[in-house]
Amino acid sequence: MKRRLLAALGGAVLAFSLAACGGEGAGGDTDTSGQAPQDLTIGVSMPTQTSERWIADGNSVKEKLEAKGYKVDLQYAGDDIPTQSQQVDQMITRGADVLIIAAIDGTALSSQLQAAADKKIPVIAYDRLIRDSQNVDFYVSFDNFKVGVAQANALLVGLGLQNKDGSKGSKTGPFNIEVFAGSLDDNNAHFFFDGAMQTLKPFLDNGSLVVKSKQTAIEQVAILRWQQETAQKRMEDLLTSTYNDGSKVNGVLSPYDGLSRGIITALQNAGYGPAANPIPVVTGQDAEIASVKLINDGVQGSTIFKDTRLLAEQAVIAAEAFLQEKQPQANDTTTYDNGVKVVPSYLLPVQTVFKDDIKTALIDSGYYTAEEVAAGQAK
Ligand code: BGC
């Protein structure tokens, strides 16, 4: 990035500065504002390829940047923190001009971010806030608290305690539910859980909802690295420990489609599914194609659609602003305190998808085709 002072001091000093960068490419201290896109590289660090959404995010960001002529260094870290640290280190060494990072562990990249800051490489936190570091310049995400609120509302609607318009539903309960949260090292997991639990609280307080296991603290219900198998195991354990007296689970708050599928597998293996023993109302997030099919088939209750194409677009807009020496435009400058500073953010809205919404939200918008939904597989 441009150092305004150096530019002002003139060519000789700038030449010295560039020489000092020693073959490290165009990244860091160089002036990017006047450079052609093909001379600029954006490092894109994604957490894992085990979840469809991150593949879609990575592909979207790459395509959009390449369409504008930029070079893209896209890496997936296999949900392994040391791998992500190493990949980000390499991006810096190879001369990235901007970094876009979706962190596995929001607190684990401090030394990489310091290295980026030392070279004046702007860092955009992608979807997951990077915590405990001064060196995060911008955050693009969805309204994560509202995701949790929407998940809780979808659970209430599915159980009949509430109507879609928020009015009182025809059922009164009491219903047995269990709650799950995401990975504790992901800042979003806390926002989702807080939004959901605040929404469910009045129903828990008046007894129309009962968490029969009594496990309601995020530490008790979190699923490390958002692993489907871990969620399946926890649901199996809950069925054995809490529902072996003939009582039934009526609903499950699940924060992510992958977890939802693990939970549904555990429930089906325990005999839930037939009309006489209906599958509980299970929520989700990300509109993963396998879950959209389950929703279409009446197995999963709902998901929260977050259009990764729009998120990718915002990340590209922010990256371009930095490359042009401008500050990207934020629409939230108060919510996302990363422990050191409030990171200026651009937050996108989210949409609840029940079976009836699949066509309008996902097919008509071109996110999936009707064939993909029917097959439960994206091409
Ligand atoms: C994302 C969710 C996703 C979860 C698991 C979170 O940080 O915001 O969309 O479901 O990670 O990958």
Mean pLDDT of 131-154: 97
Mutate which of 256, 309, 336 for ligand 1 pocket (most atoms within 8 A of beta carbon):
256
| Tokens matching residue 224 | 């490390």
Q: How many Å lie between the centroid of ligand 1 and the Cα of residue 256?
A: 7
End-to-end Cα, the chain, rounded Å? 38
- 3-class secondary structure for the chain? CCCHHHHHHCHHHHHHHHHHCCCCCCCCCCCCCCCCHHHCEEEEEECCCCCHHHHHHHHHHHHHHHHCCCEEEEEECCCCHHHHHHHHHHHHHCCCCEEEECCCCCCCCHHHHHHHHHCCCCEEEECCCCCCCCCCCEEEEECHHHHHHHHHHHHHHHHCCECCCCCECCCCCCEEEEECECCCCCHHHHHHHHHHHHHHHHHHHCCCEEECCCCCCHHHHECHHHCHHHHHHHHHHHHHHHCCCCCCCCEEECCCHHHHHHHHHHHHHCCCCCCCCCCCEECCCCCCHHHHHHHHCCCCCCEEECCHHHHHHHHHHHHHHHHCCCCCCCCECCCCECCCCECCEEEECCEEECHHHHHHHHHCCCCCCHHHHHHCCCC
Integer Cα distance of 9 and 23 in angstroms: 22
Q: Nearest C-alpha to atom 4 of ligand 1 is from which residue?
A: 256
Tokens 């959209």: give the residue.
292
Contact 333, 344 (CB under 8 A): yes
Q: How many Å lie between the centroid of ligand 1 and the Cα of residue 53?
A: 8
97 lines ligand 1 (CB under 6 A): no
226 lines ligand 1 (CB under 6 A): yes
Contact 312, 346 (CB under 8 A): no
Residues 25-35: tens digit of each pLDDT: 334 566 788 88
Residue 361 has pLDDT above 80, yes or no: yes
Residue 21: per-residue pLDDT: 36
What is the share, in percent, of the chain residues with pLDDT greater than 90? 89
Handedness of CA 159, 161, 163, 166 (dihedral sign): negative
Mean pLDDT of 114-135: 96
What number does the ligand 1 atom closest to the CA of 47 have?
12
Residue 28: per-residue pLDDT: 54
Residues 6+ apart with CB under 8 A from 82: none
Mean pLDDT of 219-231: 98
Q: Nearest C-alpha to atom 10 of ligand 1 is from which residue?
A: 256
Contact 254, 282 (CB under 8 A): yes
What number does the ligand 1 atom closest to the CA of 226 have?
5
Residues 255-283: tens digit of each pLDDT: 999 999 999 999 999 999 999 999 999 99
Give 276's strand partners: none
Integer Cα distance of 99 and 73 in angstroms: 9
Residue 243 has pLDDT above 60, yes or no: yes
Mutate which of 48, 53, 57 for ligand 1 pocket (most atoms within 8 A of beta carbon):
53
Residue 379: per-residue pLDDT: 83
